[in-house]
Amino acid sequence: MFENFAKTLIYILAAYAGLGFVFAAPFVWFGVQQVDNEAQGSGIGFRLLILPGVTAFWPMFLYRWARGISMPPVERNPHR
């Protein structure tokens, strides 16, 4: 039973990572400029550097790209 659970978990994580990479490749080349104004004119080094992070957090970036949100959220905490 535990083996089936472990296999299922691994398949789910692999599918998540696969979908993340499929999303990250076009996002890093085309969409990052729309989500982050500071990324305008960035080089290939920057794009390769953010590729793993975009792959991991692809649902957040998909939401921001689909909504057209270009500014990061303003922090509302006592340290601001």
In a domain? residue 77: no
Tokens matching residue 5: 């659970």
Whether residue 78 is contained in a domain is answered as no
**Per residue in 21-57, pLDDT tens?**
999 999 999 888 888 888 888 889 999 999 999 999 9
**Domain assignment of residue 72, yes or no:** no
- Asked, for residue 80, whether it belongs to a domain, the answer is no
Q: Is the pLDDT of residue 75 over 90?
A: no
Identify whether 79 is part of a domain.
no
Of 42 and 73, the one with more pLDDT: 42
Q: What is the DSSP letter of 5?
A: H
Q: Distance between CA atoms of 65 and 27, rounded to whole angstroms?
A: 9
Contact by Cβ (8 Å): 37, 30 = no
pTM, entire model: 0.77
Give the amino acid at 70: S
Domain boundaries, position 57: 2-67
Residue 30 in any domain: the answer is yes
- Determine the Cα–Cα distance for residues 79 and 9; give it in Å rounded to an integer: 38
How confident is the model over 3-25, as a mean pLDDT?
Answer: 96
